[in-house]
Structure 1
Amino acid sequence: MKLALSPRNMLREEHVEINPSVHSLDILDGYKSRGYLLGFGKSLFAMIPQIHQLVEARQEEEKLGLGDSAALRKQYEYLVAKLDAFDLYREDLDNPRPGQERVSSTMIYQNALIVYLHSAFCPNMLSDVGLAVELDERIDKTMPAFMTLFVGDSPYRRMLLWPGVIMASCAQREEHIRIFRTGLVGRAERTPGAVKTGARIVSLLWKDPDPRAFGPRGLSYVMTKHDISFGLC
């Protein structure tokens, strides 16, 4: 997911060998421990390779100065609709963690993936009033889950760094920013280092007056501007 994960990817071409297993999670089906490995949202995670490939294709169009093609636009709309319709209660992985934690974690990832797709196909999300309202509503929707899992110091906290930072990058209302800041920074002595770095990146984004400092693309912009090399996952 290069828009947010590797901010320097647009500066030069780099070849990365991808293990075939990355393109499918079917390899885990034979293991009873798959619930522990993923923790939540296996079917949701299974969509990530398709989302990644679509965003890569859109980036290639951007490099060529092209608008999004009808084929990519159709796939984008299909994936957003599929994500929106995702049943948060569909899986029972016999996980020892409370069921509501898994549902809340899946919901945060679900909304973050939708926001990530929107960012790929709408370079300036704030210029679209309808989309800006949608982003605010999605943050509102995930706030209770974020409070429970981040502020409440859930074991899922580290696994939710990527979607947490993605959602935080779209926060505009002060009450949202305050909750995200509390959740990401939390109790300093108990906060994982990666989460602290994620919190720093989002804080820099919130303070930056440049309109480019917004959303997943804004994370890439801020990381490049401040020479931060960090892999969100």
Structure 2
Amino acid sequence: MFRHLGASREIMAEIESRQPTEPLGTDSETLYGLGLELYAYLIFVNCLTPYGFLHERQFYLDSFIISPSSLASYSTFGIMFAGLHDLFALIPQISLLFRDRLIDQESGIIEPSIACVELHTQLERCLEDWNLSQKDLVSPFLSDDCKHDLSKVIKILQLGIEIYLVASMQGLSIVNPKIVCQLQSHVDGILDLALALHYSQWSPILLWPIVISGSCIVQRQQQKHLTKALRESKYRMNHVTRTISLLHRLWGNPDPLIYGPYGLYLTISQSDTTFSIL
């Protein structure tokens, strides 16, 4: 996946460099805009480890990754994100916080640095202040059922991002019982909502929060429920099978560090560095 993303980025850079003298036609520009959004989406949902920690999972923080709303000029904008682009854009920024927090801890700095606290506060505020804008919806005429499902999708993504944000600030290990209880509460919420959306059109974009929350599941019954739901996915694709295998390796590891996003990072680094989701 990441090699393909790297090659795609080179093609996009080549197209951009030719724009002044060889501007794209209408049809080509439409396809290009869709390609940029798909590329950004794949970057976001594969931010599962601290930024830059695994060479095999390197990616660039291009301007449209930091601010995907810059793609709004393309007619296809919103096809992948359904208006949730600014929520997705928080994910790679949290992976930067995760990296910085781990670097501090590994150098002997136990308490979060001022820079980490400031970045955490900024990201937390962005998450709390986010609201879905009607102008960002692909279709402003959603049915009541679709609106209801979309509200669940938003909540799942918000809870997944909050898990990632909270866990990233903890760094190497999560030992505070209050934090563990908070994460478990978010896991409960995600699983309840996700199971209700199991057969909906929205299920394909829920795998990132499912994997992040899955890394925090310690209850055997919940592990079984999630495994069953993934196995019965109507999208019978290889990345879903790999997701099940990855989570089973994480759950089966008795090391107390193998919990949460840091445990997910260790599991990926030890067993499947090229793991990717769509």
TM over 0.5: yes
* Counterpart position of 1:162: 208
Structure 2: distance between partners of 1:49 and 1:225 = 22
Q: Quick check: 1:41–1:91 contact (8 Å CA) kept in 2? A: no
Structure 1: distance between partners of 2:158 and 2:99 = 19
Structure 2: distance between partners of 1:100 and 1:55 = 33
Q: Quick check: 2:50–2:96 contact (8 Å CA) kept in 1? A: no
Does the C-alpha gap of structure 1 residues 179 and 125 become closer, same or farther in structure 2, counting only changes over 3 Å? farther
* Counterpart position of 2:156: 108
* Counterpart position of 2:245: 200
Whichever residue aligns with residue 228 of structure 2, its letter is T
* Counterpart position of 1:38: 81
* Counterpart position of 2:258: 213
Mind listing any 5+ residue stretches in structure 2 that lack a counterpart?
A: 1-43
Confirm whether residue 73 of structure 1 aligns to residue 120 of structure 2.
Answer: no
Structure 1: distance between partners of 2:84 and 2:189 = 18
Which structure has the larger Rg? 2
Whichever residue aligns with residue 21 of structure 1, its letter is F
Q: Quick check: 2:156–2:190 contact (8 Å CA) kept in 1? A: yes
* Counterpart position of 1:64: 107
Confirm whether residue 175 of structure 1 aligns to residue 221 of structure 2.
Answer: yes
Whichever residue aligns with residue 51 of structure 1, its letter is I
Aligned residue among 47, 53, 63 for 1:20: 63
Structure 1: distance between partners of 2:119 and 2:109 = 17
Question: How far 1:34 sits from its partner (Å)?
Answer: 2.1
Mind listing any 5+ residue stretches in structure 1 that lack a counterpart?
A: none
Q: Quick check: 2:215–2:259 contact (8 Å CA) kept in 1? A: yes
Residue identity over aligned pairs, in percent, reads 23
Whichever residue aligns with residue 242 of structure 2, its letter is T
Taking only aligned residues, the RMSD between alpha carbons, in angstroms, comes to 3.2
Confirm whether residue 119 of structure 1 aligns to residue 163 of structure 2.
Answer: no
Does the C-alpha gap of structure 1 residues 121 and 159 become closer, same or farther in structure 2, counting only changes over 3 Å? same
Q: Quick check: 1:2–1:9 contact (8 Å CA) kept in 2? A: no
Q: Quick check: 2:102–2:171 contact (8 Å CA) kept in 1? A: no
Structure 2: distance between partners of 1:173 and 1:44 = 28
- Residues 56-98 of structure 1 show CA distances to partners (whole Å, capped at 9, x for unaligned) of 43344345332321232133134235424544x5546144681
Residue 202 of structure 2 aligns to a residue in which SS? Answer: helix
Structure 1: distance between partners of 2:231 and 2:108 = 39
Whichever residue aligns with residue 154 of structure 1, its letter is S
Whichever residue aligns with residue 24 of structure 1, its letter is S
Greater displacement, 174-183 / 131-140:
174-183
Residue 212 of structure 1 aligns to a residue in which SS? Answer: coil
Aligned residue among 75, 79, 98 for 1:55: 98
Structure 1: distance between partners of 2:59 and 2:273 = 20
